[in-house]
Structure 1
């Protein structure tokens, strides 16, 4: 089973589609790590995903959890700002999802100026340190997203790309604007991605488009 551990609801960013830190939650976990270890220890296939807020604001707590929790795998989803604080512990993590929304102008529009470069620096840190786990670009697709252009851009740098649609928590657009974007940009872009994906498969290559891979 997948266990999502919110290390803190606090975030150092305030993305347009998210709004920053989660409200109504304590800034730190209210239980002992040993209690969590006892709980997930009953599951022989436990996967622990560290989430936030920005989970790496609690880097030392994550390291302690990695040492104590009897999980089969560990995953981190992060905005990339503090990935270097993990040091050698990053090699104990099986997958890192870095939040990046496509091209520089799109990412910085949603997430703030300089965020694109911060994520690329985090990616460089992982590659420089010969990280062997999965590295996934984690997009949020919203009103400025050209799904084809942004996914293809990220595939130049990341082995895998995944995305979610901004249809629940954002006020960036209304229903009619979303419908227009869906019909004019998103659906045609998905069709182009599928066509490219099939072309690559026929040539013996698999593009790391996670929603197509199952």
Structure 2
């Protein structure tokens, strides 16, 4: 073979190898396209914004009552007047406040659904008690204690501490006293009184007063046996 023919054979072989390499490179560059419409990252709940609405309990014992607010919820003397919690924050309590069928939608406007941040205290390094005023019979008269886990940023349990209402001979009053012991545990005493008419003219009412005691633990309230204090017929 002449030198000219040998040169041409080497040239065409180099050209074919180069073309194949470029084709393989193009395939490798387009074989794994970027996914379209990827899901956005889930936004974290603004827990610090919620906790900032609560005032720390200044001293114990703490009496929890909403009876003053029954006359005037905006009274300066009402210890649990609190600050209204915006809907995008109060929604975190919905499953503990409402039944499934009564639960409002995120942007739904309803009467008597205001939720108020009042007081808070630390139960343990992982749990705080959020004393929160929620909708009651006519207004936000019900004071709840929410156990709030600061690790998961979620409320775990809810307990009714106070409420007051009256209508057509029926009445209800619940109040609580929380004390702090020397070993930094919290004791709670809940008193309840309920009266209901037992005849048409409302001349007689059946009333029951009860007492409940317990210990506020890390994620629950451990109650002792309920004590019936008084069962009477009022005239």
* TM-score normalised according to structure 2 size: 0.24
Larger Rg: 2
